[in-house]
Amino acid sequence: MQQVDTVIIGGGAAGLMCAATAGARGRSVRVIEHAKRVGKKILMSGGGRCNFTNLDTRPANFLSANPHFCKSALSRYTPWDFLALVDGYGLAYHEKTPGQFFCDDKAKDLLDILIAECDRAGVDIRTQCSVTAIDVLTDTEPYRFQLATSAGTVQCQSLVIATGGLSIPTLGATGFGYQIAGQFGLDVLPRRAGLVPFTLSDRWLDVARELAGVSVDVRVDTNNQTFSDAMLFTHRGLSGPALLQISNYWQPGDALTVDFLPTLDVSAQLDQWRHEGAKAEVKTLLSRLLPSRFVHAWLAADARLSALAERRVAELNREALTALVDAFQRWRIVPAGTEGYRTAEVTLGGVSTEAVSSKTFEAKAVPGLYFVGEVLDVTGWLGGYNFQWAWASGWCAGQVV
Ligand code: FDA
């Protein structure tokens, strides 16, 4: 029989942070990771450079049934705290867009820091290890849990669930954390893929395929939420940062409204061209504002618009002008769906925050059981927020487990 103070199931961002923090307090900590190596998502993140935090992290950047839940942890472990940690190791990094921090070289440099912190704190990391059963002990104080694992039986005082969400199963994602929450009678809110590309069908899918690889700066709206950033056409539909962001707020059947010229009053621009007596064709004038490949395909996608493409602006009546403005500033599209967990960066929903303390992350009804990171019903925007949540929640639980 093996006995340790703390077992952490899941060696991802939140689990490693929790392990290093608890170990530094002198606790004996074991991390159980079923994959071949820890931190696979860290390695894949940010295009291999890991967008590891965002200096503008605010509770408003997170979705949760209880939007207040994340406040305590985010204020106790801030992006500056994480920067201080990586600065201590001399990590080379840069601020890409305001607030968003990436490794200069590779995400592995960041993972190496977390592993070094765990080594320094004496954390015992077991990879390719799986948990087959968890039992609650009643007469073995201070040991409260007994785990049957592929590496033998282990008892612990505190058990931390840091198994993450469902996105990208090939990187080790499982629903194990939700299963454990269910075993202990904790509520698990419905889950769905977030920060995920959209799929299209029918003629818009054909247009997207034709434009695959083309990126346009847009403003996209749905359900009273707006994001301005790049949109990318793909062979399946729509992606790019603006579309990934809005996917967190989208439900099947909802329409997206896309403005391809968000900083321009297209109606006023068309009027100006008319008054100037511009002789160029509509498609040529619009190609001054947007990638011409996009303009040509967009006008060709609609029979009414394609008839206008080779006309001069001066020849257009009010109705035709309105149709042009609608096509470029108010494109309304109901996506067929999303690409799902196969490519999603995060999972929305999860273990209900009502069941867990926002200070310690301990389950209110199960002393000694903790949930940290993405397994909880807390999901951040794109831009380093999800890792900041993993660091903050892992660190807070690491103070007490
Ligand atoms: P995480 O998923 O990191 O770790 C969970 C761990 O538990 C994994 O190692 C898994 O193998 C293990 N596990 C699961 N089931 C288990 C079981 N039954 N037994 C044992 N172990 C088990 N965020 C961000 O802020 N900036 C970014 O740049 C990106 N980029 C990005 C790219 C891609 C491709 C993805 C998929 C995701 C991102 N993210 C991101 C999101 C970010 O990766 C994510 O929110 C955090 O990794 C969540 O940290 P956790 O520790 O909660 O879960």
Residue-wise pLDDT for 218-262, tens only, equals: 999 999 999 999 999 999 999 999 999 999 999 999 999 999 999
* Residue 215 and residue 303 share a domain: yes
Which whole number is the average pLDDT over 317-341? Answer: 94
Where residue 330 sits, what CATH number does that domain have? 2.40.30.10
**The two structure tokens encoding residue 385:** 């927020």
Protein residue with its CA nearest to atom 49 in ligand 1 = 13
Give me the percent of the chain exceeding a pLDDT of 70.
100
What is the pLDDT confidence band of residue 277, given thresholds at 50, 70 and 90?
confident
Q: Which atom of ligand 1 is nearest to the CA of 130?
A: 19
Query: Taking 90 as the threshold, does the pLDDT of residue 292 lie above it?
Result: yes
Q: Which residues, 6+ apart, have CB-to-CB distance to 401 below 8 Å?
A: 5, 6, 8, 18, 22, 27, 158, 160, 370
Query: Taking 90 as the threshold, does the pLDDT of residue 267 lie above it?
Result: no
- State the distance from the centre of ligand 1 to the C-alpha of 320, rounded, in angstroms: 49
13 within ligand 1 shell (Cβ under 6 A): yes
- State the distance from the centre of ligand 1 to the C-alpha of 173, rounded, in angstroms: 7
Please give the mean pLDDT across all residues of the chain.
96
Cα–Cα distance, 370 to 362 (Å, whole number): 4
* Residue 216 and residue 282 share a domain: yes
46 within ligand 1 shell (Cβ under 6 A): yes
- State the distance from the centre of ligand 1 to the C-alpha of 88, rounded, in angstroms: 24
* Residue 158 and residue 11 share a domain: yes
Where residue 38 sits, what CATH number does that domain have? 3.50.50.60
DSSP category for residue 32: E
Of 386, 393, 389, 387, nearest to 361 by C-alpha is 393
* Residue 123 and residue 236 share a domain: no
* Residue 158 and residue 186 share a domain: yes
Q: Which atom of ligand 1 is nearest to the CA of 42?
A: 43
Q: What is the largest CA-CA distance in the chain?
A: 89
Q: Which residues, 6+ apart, have CB-to-CB distance to 125 below 8 Å?
A: 11, 19, 30, 31, 33, 38, 115, 118
Helices (DSSP H) in 25-121: which residue ranges?
40-48, 71-76, 79-88, 107-120
What is the per-residue pLDDT across 342-380, written as a single tens digit (0 to 9) for each? 999 999 999 999 999 999 999 999 999 999 999 999 999
* Residue 215 and residue 179 share a domain: no
Beta bridge partners of 30: 7, 124
167 within ligand 1 shell (Cβ under 6 A): yes
Query: Taking 90 as the threshold, does the pLDDT of residue 397 lie above it?
Result: yes
**The two structure tokens encoding residue 157:** 């005082």
15 within ligand 1 shell (Cβ under 6 A): yes
pTM: 0.96
33 within ligand 1 shell (Cβ under 6 A): yes
Q: Which atom of ligand 1 is nearest to the CA of 374?
A: 52
Query: Taking 90 as the threshold, does the pLDDT of residue 299 lie above it?
Result: yes
What is the per-residue pLDDT across 19-62, written as a single tens digit (0 to 9) for each? 999 999 999 999 999 999 999 999 999 999 999 999 999 999 99
The length of the chain is 401
Q: What residues make up the domain containing 232?
A: 198-338
* Residue 129 and residue 73 share a domain: yes
Angle between helices 79-88 and 107-120 (to 10 degrees): 80
Q: Which of 310, 338, 366 is the last residue of a domain?
A: 338
172 within ligand 1 shell (Cβ under 6 A): yes
197 within ligand 1 shell (Cβ under 6 A): no
Q: Are 18 and 73 in contact (CB under 8 A)?
A: no
Q: Which residues, 6+ apart, have CB-to-CB distance to 239 below 8 Å?
A: 197, 198, 231, 232
Query: Taking 90 as the threshold, does the pLDDT of residue 316 lie above it?
Result: no
Cα–Cα distance, 330 to 337 (Å, whole number): 20
Provide the pLDDT for residue 263. 94
174 within ligand 1 shell (Cβ under 6 A): yes
* Residue 332 and residue 227 share a domain: yes
- State the distance from the centre of ligand 1 to the C-alpha of 171, rounded, in angstroms: 8
* Residue 171 and residue 104 share a domain: yes
Q: How many CB atoms lie within 10 A of CB 308?
A: 21
Query: Taking 90 as the threshold, does the pLDDT of residue 101 lie above it?
Result: yes
* Residue 212 and residue 301 share a domain: yes
Pocket test for ligand 1, best of 21, 97, 163 (most atoms within 8 A of CB): 163
What is the pLDDT confidence band of residue 147, given thresholds at 50, 70 and 90?
very high
Q: How many CB atoms lie within 10 A of CB 62?
A: 22
* Residue 330 and residue 351 share a domain: no
Q: Name the pairing type of β-strands 145-149 and 131-136.
A: antiparallel
Q: Which of 295, 317, 338 is the last residue of a domain?
A: 338
Provide the CB-side half-sphere exposure for 160 (13 A, CA): 38
* Residue 231 and residue 282 share a domain: yes
Provide the domain count of the chain. Answer: 2
Q: Does an H or E element contain 135, and which?
A: strand 131-136
Provide the pLDDT for residue 275. 84
**The two structure tokens encoding residue 234:** 């793909």
3-state secondary structure 224-248: CEEEEEEEEECCCEEECHHHHHHHC
Q: Which residue has the tokens 């694992």?
A: 149
